[in-house]
Structure 1
Amino acid sequence: MSSTRLSFGDDDQHNMPRIMTFRPSYEEFINFAGYIEYMESRGAHKAGLVKIIPPKEWIPRRSGYDIENINMTIPAPICQVVTGAHGVYQQINIQQRRQMTLRQFMEKANSELHQTPRHFDYDDLERKYWKNITYISPLYAADVKGTLSDEDLNVWNIGRLDTILNLVNTDYGIEIDGVNTAYLYFGMWKSSFAWHTEDMDLYSINYLHFGAPKTWYAIPPIYGRRLEKLANETFVENYQECNAYLRHKMTMISPKVLRQHNIPFNKITQEAGEIMITFPFGYHAGFNHGFNGAESTNFASKRWIEYGKRASICKCRSDMVKISMETFVRHFQPERYENWLKGEDYGCHPEEPGKICAAAPPTINEYQVTQESSQAAKSKSTNPQKRGCSLAEVNNGHSDADDDKMSVSSRSSANLKQAVVKLRKLPTVVPTAESAPVEAATEPDTKKKYDFNSIAVVRVKRMWNALPCTEPGTNLLTNGVVKNTKRMRFQTKVLTLEDED
């Protein structure tokens, strides 16, 4: 076991937890939950992130990683548009319309436009990343459902980790893609993940199967509120619209800005064949050095329950992951169950000792899971649920009251229409005498309703100017049509470009 170099320079740097690296033997490695508990006994969770170098006997994919032999299709890669300046940025993920094969994605990643720049070392590449973050938007094949691990892998199989998070499935028959199932991530140079904690402040595991490294930034959970305060003061409008907007995964803040605001952080580089574990309420962010492939999911432990009971929840989007804590409190905190139901379960957030408050209770008629409803859920086939959305089927033979007993609190997004931004150049129409008064009357409202999204204006203008049209056009791009798709974890803008006369 070793620790990384600290990437923070304030006066308390010697007291700040550092990211540890563990090298378990195969015998130590076999028991997943036991090894997580062992690392926490050594204080690994205090840094919010830990690296594990697996034993050489652990081979998750015996056939190797020849891209020609991996039959993988990426349904909708995202283009990551970053805007901002001086170390403070926002990232908008534009979902591409066409799917790609993994080979096509690799060729794009290795193209002259997107290839990794020449660099001396990881620090030099990091400087190039922050210097060029707003230029040449990369593609990221994120949240691809599937696995690269062998089906018969029984030790640390990311697709089926045996932790208490399985209660969501066994008690309610609910499967949440990417939360209690595996997701794949194929990156290229500069593809990034913005500052965030996991859904419901869960643990996460990330195994880098092959390819270029990832750089991770991590803030010790005890300093997580400092990052939230900085972000809330920097992105005031976002915070006013949603007090849990960091869960939209759009906010990017550079190490330089963190130092300026006295926010301790660590950084570490993950290489192929290494595992990263994030801990409850551990804010993390990072970027890929080049073409690579990783596999990830969430998991839980008894220590997480207090975090989950007090996790912030985004209420502005109905398709965010919201897991009921009912089954966890009932199973592991039975002495607190009745008070929790009444909103009288007083205690502290684990990272804010001394700040006593009541844990958020279930809403009225929600999470009241009786033995009958649990058995009924078990008797049904598993209901697939995509990460970042509600149940895929809500009105399939049961009432809204039944929905309230389910593990996920938000309403289904199955009936939500997909928000699509269409860019079309329409010939400018010269108003006639008849239509002039009407157009004049509606002009102020039209200008107010249709406008460029300020954080994507540069890229959108480029796409707009590139659209084929022989006549002058009128922009009809609606402002702020942003949708967190059912499949994607990220805040996503869907742009459909149509060639028209």
Structure 2
Amino acid sequence: MAFHMEGGIMVFTPTLEQFRDFPRFISYMEEHGAHHNGIAKIIPPKEWKPCRDYNGVDDFVIPTPVSQFVTGQQGVYQVFNIQKKSLIFSKFKEMANSDLYKPPKVKDNEELERKYWKNVTFNPPIYGADIPGSLYDQDVKEWNINHLGTILDTVTEEYGVSIPGGLNCAESTNFASLRWIEYGKKAKRCMCRKDMVQINMDVFVEKFQPEQWEEYCRKKESKATPTKHSESSRSTGTKHNKLLEFSFKPPPTKKSKLKEEDDDLEEEVDEGRGQIGDDISMDCGRVNLMIL
């Protein structure tokens, strides 16, 4: 399997035959150290088509579009995500290709990125993110987001991601190899926010590490049993660990401005159409298919 380096990132160019087995390909990438960089790029073979026809997506409903308001300067920013009313994809497409939202003409991606950060606080982008579902054809067997063949297929989460490059769509899902189980067993849940999630590792240990199941249950039970020290701490009101919770809300003076900008979204726009891209990126156990 061929790969090369671009800007410190490993770029893989598999054949269709090499592309068929997702878990095996991930193992190959890890054997060559791709996971140490935190991100890698895979260029699929030209024969691979996740969807033959995108003409039927115009009536696809985006339930909660998000308008992303950014405040800050000199590289330090706060983001406020304002949920919008639902709309269909054809309307979203019109907005994305309007003069208000379409990207400026640039000579390369670096210039586009510079312009994005220079203007990020002026024109809030609209994202159709966190939408369960898939545009893959059901008979696609290679790298199908819905069933990649990894240990996370039973607890798959799909969500959309957008980047500041005009109209585009991305499908992404979490995945994990057998090597990930030990990390999952040792991971601690972040308590800094109320909406943080945690994956229960029981199903993975029982299915993929059956020889460790009994010992795993004993350790888990011992951790859950309160000790005399912890009982004494609760009775005396002593707090050994203080958890801080931070929340950010737009200042009162911003609300009227956000409302005014919100009302300006429904203006006349131009037609446009997205086309499927040819890049797949992988970062931190996630595969992203970009449809450009």
Instruction: Please state which band the TM-score falls in when normalised by the shorter chain.
Output: 0.7 to 0.9
Counterpart Cα distance in 1 of 2:145 and 2:224: 33
Give yes or no for contact 1:109–1:291 (8 Å, CA) kept in 2.
yes
Residues 82-97 of structure 1 mapped to structure 2, 5 A cutoff: 82-96=70-84
With CA pairs under 8 Å and 6+ residues apart, which has the higher RCO, 1 or 2?
A: 2
Give yes or no for contact 1:24–1:54 (8 Å, CA) kept in 2.
yes
Structure 1 partner of 2:130: 143
Shift of 1:149: 0.7
Shift of 1:109: 1.2
Gaps of 5+ in 1: 6-17, 170-175, 188-286, 345-359, 365-452, 468-501
Structure 1 partner of 2:35: 45
Shift of 1:133: 1.7
Counterpart Cα distance in 1 of 2:32 and 2:261: 57
Give yes or no for contact 1:22–1:52 (8 Å, CA) kept in 2.
yes
Shift of 1:363: 4.0
Size of the aligned set, in residue pairs, is 239
SS of the residue 2:255 aligns to: helix
Structure 2 partner of 1:391: none
Counterpart of 2:68, as a letter, is: Q
Partner deviation per Cα, 1:221-279 (whole Å, 9 max, x = no partner): xxxxxxxxxxxxxxxxxxxxxxxxxxxxxxxxxxxxxxxxxxxxxxxxxxxxxxxxxxx
Gaps of 5+ in 2: 226-247, 263-292
Structure 1 partner of 2:271: none
Residue 55 and residue 300 in structure 1: after superposition, are their counterparts in 2 closer, same or farther (change >3 A)?
A: same
Check if 1:29 corresponds to 2:5: no
Partner deviation per Cα, 1:179-222 (whole Å, 9 max, x = no partner): x043344x4xxxxxxxxxxxxxxxxxxxxxxxxxxxxxxxxxxx
Residue 103 and residue 459 in structure 1: after superposition, are their counterparts in 2 closer, same or farther (change >3 A)?
A: farther
Check if 1:288 corresponds to 2:290: no
Counterpart Cα distance in 1 of 2:210 and 2:197: 25
Residues 83-232 of structure 1 mapped to structure 2, 5 A cutoff: 83-96=71-84, 98-166=85-153, 169=154, 180-185=156-161, 187=162
Structure 2 partner of 1:3: 5
Structure 2 partner of 1:478: none
SS of the residue 2:131 aligns to: strand
Counterpart of 2:62, as a letter, is: I
Structure 1 partner of 2:63: 75
SS of the residue 2:46 aligns to: coil
Give yes or no for contact 1:147–1:184 (8 Å, CA) kept in 2.
no
Check if 1:462 corresponds to 2:254: no
SS of the residue 1:91 aligns to: strand
Residue 454 and residue 323 in structure 1: after superposition, are their counterparts in 2 closer, same or farther (change >3 A)?
A: closer
Check if 1:309 corresponds to 2:197: no
SS of the residue 2:17 aligns to: helix
SS of the residue 2:91 aligns to: helix
Partner deviation per Cα, 1:404-461 (whole Å, 9 max, x = no partner): xxxxxxxxxxxxxxxxxxxxxxxxxxxxxxxxxxxxxxxxxxxxxxxxx654555414
Counterpart Cα distance in 1 of 2:158 and 2:196: 18
Alpha-carbon RMSD across the aligned residues, in angstroms, is: 2.8
Partner deviation per Cα, 1:113-147 (whole Å, 9 max, x = no partner): 11102222111111111212222111100011111
Structure with higher strand content = 1
TM normalised by structure 1 equals 0.44
Counterpart Cα distance in 2 of 1:463 and 1:296: 30
Residue 70 and residue 463 in structure 1: after superposition, are their counterparts in 2 closer, same or farther (change >3 A)?
A: closer
SS of the residue 1:130 aligns to: helix
Tell me which of 55, 61, 65 is aligned to 2:51. Answer: 61
Residues 241-260 of structure 1 mapped to structure 2, 5 A cutoff: none
Q: Percent identity?
A: 45
Counterpart Cα distance in 1 of 2:124 and 2:20: 41
Shift of 1:463: 4.0
Shift of 1:4: 1.3
Structure 1 partner of 2:236: none
SS of the residue 1:94 aligns to: strand
Give yes or no for contact 1:146–1:184 (8 Å, CA) kept in 2.
no
